[in-house]
């Protein structure tokens, strides 16, 4: 069960978006594994995809389609990543898009494909195409919850978030769903995310809003340091509310903030549901020369197997954190100016163990399910916050048995 998270909250419908979910038998009979998302004509979209050079066939196809025409449908399958499949995989993705377009009377390029699951296996095209009529029949403005379950792989819980704000005297809704539990690392950490609002926003501004939101959310999480081949995040503005949001306006700032909040909530849920996770860990690196070196320190701590296993054991072995900071590669680091805290407990100062540190204080922090590590570098004004999880027996078991 995810750390500090019990159930999916109520997901508010977004006018102009319908979602349909079904079981196509890709994973196991009876498991929801195929989702169709319908966008109202004229909706604006923004996108961010994986930076993995071996990006999956659906990523290649989706990027190509976005250069041609505004999308009307998202087609999402789980149980198979259609990655590492070469030209046949690309042709399979395109065939699925074409099949959906034929059923809806649209254009193949209006369909964006998304896949998640096992890498290197041929996409089960026949099962997907056979499941399309059922997914279309299930299209519903209230289909968010079913879709949140339909996009999961090794996740233990469905992930979603909804917010409402008032702009120009009208209520604006932002709702998002995401999946991700393992193979999670920034640069579009395997994750898929779909967020929508009924505000009217042009595609250029919408892309700017998404880029800013991703920078402090999906690109600030890591479970295991692995960047997936299939990561994608889509932001849709349907314009169904007739509230036009323009650059520099008060409404733009309000909408940007709520979209960022939704993205951060979804990103944190991925960490809370990290494969085998028992701890939700926040790492704050402060007083760096720039964000780059703050990230360098934060991710060195977050990716250290020794640090992560200490958190799993609730062992206040603070020397592992100190060692990670020391090997992060910062030049001319003044060790006497660095302080490290576990929660509110100072563990390192003046180049060594804090004078008033006691093991019992560190133990009290490590016994918690949610822990903050704060590193002050004492050499600038920049700061970075990331979220990560511990490394447990179950993480090894889940990934060792992933294909069995």
Active-site annotation, residues? 190
What's the CA dihedral at 13, 17, 21, 26 to 10 degrees?
-130
Q: Is 310 exposed, middle or buried (0-12, 13-18, 19+ CB in 10 A)?
A: buried
**Half-sphere exposure of residue 341: CA atoms within 13 angstroms, side-chain side:** 12
Q: In what order do the strands lie in the sheet with 221-222?
A: 221-222, 382-389, 280-288, 370-376, 339-342, 345-349, 352-353
Measure the CA–CA gap between 354 and 346, rounded to whole angstroms: 6
Closest alpha carbon to 195 in 265, 271, 111: 265
Distances in Å between the Cα of 353 and the Cα atoms of 242, 341, 362 are: 59, 11, 12
DSSP assignments along 168-202, one per residue: TTEEEEEEEEEE-SSS--SS----EEEEEESSB--
CB 262 within 8 A of CB 163: yes
- 120 token code pair: 């290197």
The tokens 């958190």 sit on which residue? 311
- Rounded to 10 deg, the angle between the 318-326 and 291-302 helix axes is 140
d(CA 223, CA 395): 10
- CA dist 18 and 36 (Å) reads 8
- Provide the CA 242 distance to its chain's centre, in angstroms: 29
Could you tell me the strand order of the sheet in which 170-179 lies? 44-49, 232-237, 192-197, 170-179, 159-167
Q: In a 10 Å sphere around its CB, with 0-12 CB exposed, 13-18 middle and 19+ buried, how is residue 250 labelled?
A: exposed
Beta strands 280-288 and 382-389 are antiparallel
Reduce the DSSP state of residue 377 to 3 states and report it: coil
Please report how many Cα atoms fall inside a 13 Å half-sphere around the Cα of residue 136, on the Cβ side. 15
- Cβ contact 191:234 at 8 Å: no
């Amino acid at each position: 069960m995810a750390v500090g998270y019990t159930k999916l909250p109520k997901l508010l419908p977004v006018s102009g978006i319908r979602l349909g979910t079904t079981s196509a038998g890709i994973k196991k009979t009876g498991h929801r594994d195929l989702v169709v998302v319908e966008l109202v004509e004229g909706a604006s979209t923004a996108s961010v995809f994986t930076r993995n050079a071996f990006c999956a066939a659906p990523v290649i196809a989706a990027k190509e389609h976005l250069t041609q025409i505004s999308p009307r449908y998202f087609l999402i399958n789980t149980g198979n990543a259609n990655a590492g499949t070469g030209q046949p995989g690309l042709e399979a993705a395109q065939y699925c898009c074409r099949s959906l377009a034929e059923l809806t009377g649209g254009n193949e390029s209006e369909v964006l494909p998304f896949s998640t699951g096992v890498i290197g296996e041929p996409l089960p095209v026949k099962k997907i195409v056979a499941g399309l009529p059922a997914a279309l029949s299930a299209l519903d403005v209230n289909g968010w919850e079913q879709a949140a379950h339909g996009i999961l792989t090794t996740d233990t819980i469905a992930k979603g978030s909804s917010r409402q704000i008032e702009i120009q005297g009208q209520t604006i809704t932002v709702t998002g769903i995401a999946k991700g539990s393992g193979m999670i690392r920034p640069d579009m950490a395997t994750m898929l995310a779909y967020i929508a609002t009924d505000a009217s926003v042009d595609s250029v501004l919408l892309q700017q809003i998404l880029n800013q939101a991703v920078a402090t959310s999906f690109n600030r999480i890591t479970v295991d340091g692995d960047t997936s081949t299939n990561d994608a995040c889509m932001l849709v503005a349907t314009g169904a509310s007739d509230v036009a949001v323009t650059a520099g306006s008060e409404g733009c700032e309000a909408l940007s903030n709520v979209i960022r909040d939704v993205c951060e909530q979804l990103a944190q849920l991925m960490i809370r549901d990290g494969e085998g996770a028992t701890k939700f860990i926040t790492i704050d690196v402060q007083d760096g020369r720039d964000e780059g070196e703050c990230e360098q320190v934060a991710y060195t701590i977050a990716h250290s197997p020794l640090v992560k296993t200490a958190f799993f054991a609730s062992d206040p072995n603070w020397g592992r954190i100190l060692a990670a900071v020391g090997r992060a590669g910062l030049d001319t680091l003044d060790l006497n100016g660095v302080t490290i805290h576990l929660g509110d407990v100072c563990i390192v100062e003046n180049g060594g163990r804090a004078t008033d540190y006691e093991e019992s204080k560190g133990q009290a922090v490590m016994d918690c399910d949610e822990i903050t590590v704060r590193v002050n570098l004492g050499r600038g004004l920049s700061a970075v916050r990331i979220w990560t999880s511990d490394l447990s027996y179950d993480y090894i078991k889940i990934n060792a048995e992933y294909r069995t």
